[in-house]
Amino acid sequence: MKMLLWNRAAAVLALCSAGICSACEPRETKDQKALLSRARLLTQEELEISRRAMQQASSEEVRAFARRAAVRSEGLDKKLTDFGKAVGVEEPEPGTKPLFERLNTIEKVRGEAFDPDYLKLMLDFHREHVVIYERLLKIAATELLRDFARDSLAEERTHLKTLQILAAPLIPEVEPVEK
């Protein structure tokens, strides 16, 4: 029995030292992967929902915001994909259940009711992105990833402020922000 346990321990140690065993990854690496994966998934959802908003928004201001958000999301997705590959993040599934639920819900909304629903989703996405990039900035393993997190965090905060300015007149619970 002792020999069997010893052999298993030796096998796990060998896998860890070879970098094959994901259970042996440092906590920071796992967290980094999870954050990059979540950021990418949110970015892809933002892209899909913004593409719908470009067609369905009633306000030209909201349609213009959706166009900018779609272009920005495409570029951000590329960066997140590259960083993800560098640390071993697997490709997210091309459409999650929450995304399909959001798309189904938002596709049913028409006219002036669409704009506040879309903007609420975007506010949620950007608030979560801010949290992700703050955390990533603290745990990033490389200077390159820290720079990316710092730049992305600044961009998300700016984007969130723009979004709050746009959303404040349409969504009562959004506090007006100075331009």
Q: What is the pLDDT of residues 37-86, one digit of tens each?
A: 899 989 988 998 999 899 999 999 999 999 999 999 999 999 998 888 88
Q: What integer pLDDT is reported at residue 126 of this predicted model?
A: 94
**What CATH fold (topology level) applies to the domain 26-167?**
Ferritin (1.20.1260)
Single-letter amino acid, residue 156:
E
163-171 long-range contacts, CB within 8 A, separation 24+: 163/65, 163/119, 163/122, 163/123, 163/126, 164/123, 166/61, 166/62, 166/65, 166/119, 167/116, 167/119, 167/120, 167/122, 167/123, 170/115, 170/116, 170/119, 171/116, 171/119, 171/120, 171/123
Q: pTM for the complete prediction?
A: 0.76
Domain definitions of the chain by residue range? 26-167
